[in-house]
């Protein structure tokens, strides 16, 4: 199963990774293709913001394509693509578990079982440069939560506690996708998705385009 990270232009520039663009859909502008998580791939849109104007301290904002489930990564130094990928792999599942526990959708034993099943999913990680415009608005709103929280509290960067608190707050609020006329709560939708991908029998799949950078391309030989 593919785990696709879609980096905004800002994140691509900050990483210095020179990521390839996601191949364009028919009659669509390059670099702004829609992302869809399905039985074969889990997609995340990833962006980076300054905590204040041109600050060294920044926050990476990450949003899952279907559920709009959002998490934050405070960064004080530049990360390699490999470092960022390893952190994202751990953080999205950690924030998922913490939000499930807070929202009380599952008992602790079932949350632990879900994480165990997710750890057994064989994710083939890919990175591309692309901004899904339908997700971009949710990321912009999430970024405003970060900058306003920091300003009000006189902080340079989010603490671990604030990072989790913001994520839990946003992921338990009702979201709306006007174009699709959908209303949903991110944690509920991501739970449904994770339950589906960990209960169906499946064969390993690969993303069917050649213009994609694999994480192994960036790891030391």
Task: Decide if 36 is inside a domain.
Answer: yes
**What does the pLDDT read at residue 210?**
34
Task: Decide if 215 is inside a domain.
Answer: no
Task: Decide if 218 is inside a domain.
Answer: no
Domain count of the chain? Answer: 1
Task: Decide if 216 is inside a domain.
Answer: no
Task: Decide if 146 is inside a domain.
Answer: yes
For the cut 50, the answer to whether the pLDDT of residue 169 exceeds it is yes
Task: Decide if 213 is inside a domain.
Answer: no
Confidence of residue 208 (pLDDT cuts 50, 70, 90): very low
Task: Decide if 217 is inside a domain.
Answer: no
The pTM (predicted TM-score) of the whole model is 0.88
Predicted confidence (pLDDT) per residue in 44-75, tens digit = 999 999 999 989 999 999 999 999 999 999 99
Q: Where in the sequence is the domain holding 163, given as residue range(s)?
A: 2-208
Long-range contacts of 72-81 (CB under 8 A, 24+ apart): 72/142, 72/146, 72/158, 72/163, 72/166, 72/167, 73/163, 74/157, 74/158, 74/163, 75/48, 76/157, 78/14, 78/15, 78/16, 79/15, 80/15, 80/218, 81/15, 81/17, 81/127, 81/215, 81/218
**What does the pLDDT read at residue 180?**
67
Task: Decide if 184 is inside a domain.
Answer: yes
Determine what percent of the chain is predicted with pLDDT higher than 70: 86
């Amino acid at each position: 199963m593919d785990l696709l990270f879609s980096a905004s232009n800002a994140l691509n520039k900050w990483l210095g990774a020179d990521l390839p663009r996601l191949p364009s859909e028919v009659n669509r502008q390059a670099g702004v293709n829609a992302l869809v998580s399905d039985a074969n791939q889990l997609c995340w849109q990833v962006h980076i913001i300054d905590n204040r104007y041109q600050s060294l301290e920044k926050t990476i904002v990450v949003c899952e394509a279907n559920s709009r489930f959002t998490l934050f990564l405070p960064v004080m130094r530049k990360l390699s693509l490999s470092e960022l990928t390893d952190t994202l792999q751990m953080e999205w599942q950690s924030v998922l578990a913490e939000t499930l526990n807070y929202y009380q959708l599952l008992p602790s034993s079932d949350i632990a079982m879900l994480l165990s099943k997710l750890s057994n999913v064989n994710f083939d990680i890919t990175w591309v440069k692309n901004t899904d415009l339908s997700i971009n608005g949710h990321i912009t709103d999430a970024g405003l939560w970060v900058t306003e929280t920091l300003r009000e509290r006189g902080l340079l960067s989010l603490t671990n506690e604030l990072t989790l608190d913001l994520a839990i707050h946003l992921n338990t609020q009702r979201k709306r996708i006007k174009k699709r006329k959908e209303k949903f709560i991110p944690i509920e939708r991501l739970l449904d998705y994770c339950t589906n991908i960990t209960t169906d029998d499946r064969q390993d799949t690969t993303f069917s385009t050649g213009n994609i950078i694999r994480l192994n391309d960036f790891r030391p030989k």
